[in-house]
Chains A and B, each alone.
Chain A
């Protein structure tokens, strides 16, 4: 088992999977991240991250039904596992804690 820390991009991908719900497969994840963050995301990078998340046990995958659009090949859909959800909320919690320490005006100065 690899380390359970989440990298920045990993967190992004994991969140996108959660947000996309039933429609989370590689190409869709790519497009969604591009749409939200506005940065260009390479498919190969997303693939590598998905593979890593899978190894860490944060996501699981299953193959869908074959469609004509992909030359008859099935999509691999990803869902966030319980461990994934727990890690996500833990990250959010840590961030929230830190946020609360920051006085409001200071933030506005930045």
Chain B
């Protein structure tokens, strides 16, 4: 018996329908159906279906296939000229609408062009290395007990040595270490040089071009150095640098090679490479350093390697995991693991990685910016769609006539796509100008951005621009084209009333709401970011930073510098510290509790006796460090309250005099200060200690007592320039340092604020267009109402009511979204932050409402003021 209801596979059936000539189709379908039924009865459903599919495919033969509709496409091609002409005419006829569209698209496209250039530039990073897909770096993850994992782009030399010896399948591997740089001296010439330690395989692994010297031996011997062509020019001024001697940090190095300056799109940048053997020799001769390098020394070193052909990185990873597990077992409490990252992904990889050797943009900011640019272009696209649909009434007659003459739906569709594409191409021209306008603004937001990007245009970018403009045209024109091509010739030409054509009002309204919701989100986000920035800036850090100028010593002796600066009368006092506190950098070490059972990380700053009074830290108990020039042996510590709690040292009074083991030495607690923000506001207050080590100073803090800050700064600069000709004068007011530390918010505020401004402009233009359009189409109605006695006020109310309702709806949607976004995503990991208040949320709404009311109101008022006699007489 034939099982009931089993049908041939649908897709095969459709496929047959799709390719088969209409005159053969019915017979073929019938035949296949008959066969299907037969096999179904004899061999079952499965077999029947398979046979059916095979047969359908077998019938795909030249004689069964439909003729290509070449003729149709030919007409499309011929008609293109006509589409072009009508498009240009229609653009010319509706000057206001075309201007709104072109301007809006151009503005948003310039942002997108910036994005495209940025993206291609980031993608091009590190691509100059040969065979980049086979080039990897090792990242490390450190976890203490079961706390959060810290992620580093650096790793240990120890691991590198083991890899080289034990792991097969690595064709070449190079170990690097940062901080090889310092002042380089040649004769009387001194320049600060930024350098890396690198071993002899450096040039095998990485494709930096060696201009002079032999790549295999250049970095082999101790005390050898390879400099870039730029550095060579600075130090030797045209002389042949090879085999010359450079004095770097008081040690003589022989120049064994000249390397081309790392290109702009290299994440790794250096001015010189010092042979790693120099460091090895130094460490081995130093008796205090035993068993170096260690596995846990993962802060300064980098490993780059290439694998042999046929070996995948996962094979290497498996071997690495074994080594790491073995070594981590020897460590107390700490687990170190590694991950292999392709060098091509460094620039676009994860952004939450510390110790990067140079630039890393990270994936998230790139995605964020792409998302923002997309929203802006979306808004402009909506404008086009909206205005085109609104105006479709005027074009419907044209469509009707075309259809009567024989145009097919696809032809009408492509006509309107062509028109949209023309508009977007015209916008592209303007957008390129806009691009050059906003490029310097963008690069100037933050010095970091400037060091990563150049944003130069090349052939590739121009190609992307064109493709992008066409894409935008197609998307923006899609809905209007769909709508207009769907119209039926009869209904357009027969009926005089246009009521049916207005059925797209819901679509237009929802597009408007989306547009304004996006604008609102932007504007609210910008205000919140600004508020958070201001909050951080004005936050009471727990110490005073007024009029304090922080001067980087750049390696100069702190005491000598102090003596020189003391002569300037405007400087009230000078204190020394290792670095500038609370602006992002931290130093930490291990401290044991009193009973020496527990140990934990404590952060510290080395200062002199003048630092604590100058910054006005409040001493809760004990006293400040004694006035001493140099401290040979540390004796005392000053802790904060959090440290007392963490190490269970009791009340401030009780803690005084207790001895704790700190950084491998026993120190007495001589004072306790009130808690203050020793990190940035992003994190909690941590346990913290002041150490008394004035000779470790890297920064002089100058308290100025003058109202003329600018001149005083100049005076100090002059004094500096006199005794140090090598280094730039690097002094910043403490306040400005804090501002820099919260640059993220200020960057966010500037970018989002700018985009908010753009989207609002675009959306308002759209609103203006809609307002003009509504006023125009309802002119007659307004006149009649006016004749019957309506006041101007009531007419304005009538016309703008629906728009204002849309804006209200947009506000209702936007406020909770933005609130949620900031409350639980963006600001969630900020420990101290400004509350999001009513003002931030409503300010944007008020702005949008006033802009909306102004645009719509002005248009409707114009219409309402018109003399009814004029409009009605024209009929």
| Interface 1/0 per residue, A37-70 and B, CB below 8 Å | 0000011100110010000000000010000011
Whether A103 is near chain B, meaning CB under 8 Å from some CB there, is no
Chain B interface bracket (under 10, 10 to 19, 20 to 34, 35 or more): 10 to 19
Complex CA gap A43/B56 in Å reads 11
Partner of B27 from the list A44, A69, A71, A73 (CB cut-off 8 Å) is A73
Number of interface residues of A (CB under 8 A): 17
B59 adjacent to A75 (CB under 8 Å): no
Q: A43-B35, A44-B58, A73-B33 are in contact. Are A51 and B63 (CB under 8 A)?
A: yes
A48 adjacent to B63 (CB under 8 Å): yes
Complex CA gap A71/B32 in Å reads 10
Whether B31 is near chain A, meaning CB under 8 Å from some CB there, is yes
B29 adjacent to A73 (CB under 8 Å): yes
A27 adjacent to B31 (CB under 8 Å): yes
The residue on A at minimum CB distance from B33 is A71
Q: Which residues of B have CB within 8 Å of A51?
A: 63
Whether B99 is near chain A, meaning CB under 8 Å from some CB there, is no
Whether B829 is near chain A, meaning CB under 8 Å from some CB there, is no
The residue on A at minimum CB distance from B28 is A47
Q: Which residues of B have CB within 8 Å of A79?
A: none
The residue on A at minimum CB distance from B26 is A73
Complex CA gap A51/B35 in Å reads 19
Interface residues of A in 1-58 (CB under 8 A from B): 25-27, 42-44, 47-48, 51
Complex CA gap A82/B59 in Å reads 29
Partner of A43 from the list B26, B55, B61 (CB cut-off 8 Å) is B55
The residue on A at minimum CB distance from B61 is A48
Whether A76 is near chain B, meaning CB under 8 Å from some CB there, is yes
Q: A27-B35, A43-B35 are in contact. Are A70 and B30 (CB under 8 A)?
A: yes
Complex CA gap A70/B27 in Å reads 9
B26 adjacent to A42 (CB under 8 Å): no
Complex CA gap A98/B64 in Å reads 39
Whether A92 is near chain B, meaning CB under 8 Å from some CB there, is no
B58 adjacent to A63 (CB under 8 Å): no
Q: Which residues of A have CB within 8 Å of B27?
A: 25-26, 63, 73-76
- Closest Cβ of chain A: how far from B39's Cβ, in Å? 11
Complex CA gap A44/B29 in Å reads 12
Partner of A70 from the list B34, B55, B59 (CB cut-off 8 Å) is B34
Complex CA gap A75/B35 in Å reads 13
Q: Which residues of A have CB within 8 Å of B63?
A: 48, 51
Complex CA gap A69/B33 in Å reads 8
Whether B37 is near chain A, meaning CB under 8 Å from some CB there, is yes
Main secondary structure of the interface of B (DSSP, over half): helix
Partner of A71 from the list B29, B58, B64 (CB cut-off 8 Å) is B29
Residue among B30, B32, B33 with the highest chain A CB neighbour number at 10 A: B30
Complex CA gap A26/B33 in Å reads 12
Q: A43-B55, A44-B59 are in contact. Are A26 and B37 (CB under 8 A)?
A: no
- Closest Cβ of chain A: how far from B64's Cβ, in Å? 8
B55 adjacent to A75 (CB under 8 Å): no
Residue among B31, B35, B64 with the highest chain A CB neighbour number at 10 A: B31
The residue on A at minimum CB distance from B36 is A71
Q: Which residues of A have CB within 8 Å of B64?
A: 47
B33 adjacent to A70 (CB under 8 Å): yes
Q: Which residues of A have CB within 8 Å of B28?
A: 47
A75 adjacent to B58 (CB under 8 Å): no
Complex CA gap A3/B442 in Å reads 75
Q: Which residues of A have CB within 8 Å of B29?
A: 70-71, 73
A69 adjacent to B37 (CB under 8 Å): yes
Q: Which residues of B have CB within 8 Å of A43?
A: 31-32, 35, 55
- Closest Cβ of chain A: how far from B630's Cβ, in Å? 100
| Interface 1/0 per residue, B10-47 and A, CB below 8 Å | 00000000000000001111111111010000000000
Q: Which residues of A have CB within 8 Å of B37?
A: 69
Q: A42-B58, A44-B59, A48-B63 are in contact. Are A74 and B35 (CB under 8 A)?
A: no
B58 adjacent to A69 (CB under 8 Å): no
The residue on B at minimum CB distance from A70 is B30
Q: Which residues of B have CB within 8 Å of A25?
A: 27
Complex CA gap A63/B63 in Å reads 19
A47 adjacent to B59 (CB under 8 Å): yes
- Closest Cβ of chain A: how far from B273's Cβ, in Å? 71
Complex CA gap A71/B26 in Å reads 10
Complex CA gap A86/B37 in Å reads 38
Q: Which residues of A have CB within 8 Å of B30?
A: 70-71, 73-75
- Closest Cβ of chain B: how far from A56's Cβ, in Å? 13
A69 adjacent to B34 (CB under 8 Å): yes
- Closest Cβ of chain B: how far from A74's Cβ, in Å? 6
| Interface 1/0 per residue, A65-98 and B, CB below 8 Å | 0000111011110000000000000000000000
Complex CA gap A70/B37 in Å reads 9
Q: Which residues of A have CB within 8 Å of B26?
A: 63, 73-74, 76
- Closest Cβ of chain B: how far from A15's Cβ, in Å? 20
The residue on B at minimum CB distance from A54 is B63
- Closest Cβ of chain B: how far from A23's Cβ, in Å? 14
Complex CA gap A107/B26 in Å reads 48
- Closest Cβ of chain A: how far from B570's Cβ, in Å? 100
Q: Which residues of B have CB within 8 Å of A73?
A: 26-27, 29-30, 33
Q: Which residues of B have CB within 8 Å of A47?
A: 28, 31, 59, 64
Complex CA gap A110/B671 in Å reads 125
Complex CA gap A50/B318 in Å reads 65
Complex CA gap A44/B31 in Å reads 10
Complex CA gap A27/B33 in Å reads 11
Complex CA gap A47/B674 in Å reads 96
Q: Which residues of A have CB within 8 Å of B35?
A: 27, 43
The residue on B at minimum CB distance from A45 is B58
Complex CA gap A47/B56 in Å reads 12
The residue on B at minimum CB distance from A75 is B30
Complex CA gap A47/B37 in Å reads 19
Chain A residues within 8 Å of B, Cβ to Cβ: 25-27, 42-44, 47-48, 51, 63, 69-71, 73-76
Chain B residues within 8 Å of A, Cβ to Cβ: 26-35, 37, 55, 58-59, 61, 63-64
A-B contact pairs, 7 of them (CB 8 A): A26-B27, A70-B29, A70-B34, A71-B30, A73-B27, A73-B30, A75-B27
Which 10 residue pairs spanning A and B have beta carbons closest together? A73-B30, A70-B30, A76-B27, A71-B33, A44-B58, A70-B33, A26-B31, A51-B63, A73-B26, A73-B29
Q: Can you name 15 extra interface pairs (CB under 8 A) apart from A70-B34, A75-B27?
A: A25-B27, A27-B31, A27-B35, A43-B32, A44-B58, A47-B64, A63-B26, A69-B37, A71-B29, A71-B30, A71-B33, A73-B26, A73-B29, A74-B27, A74-B30
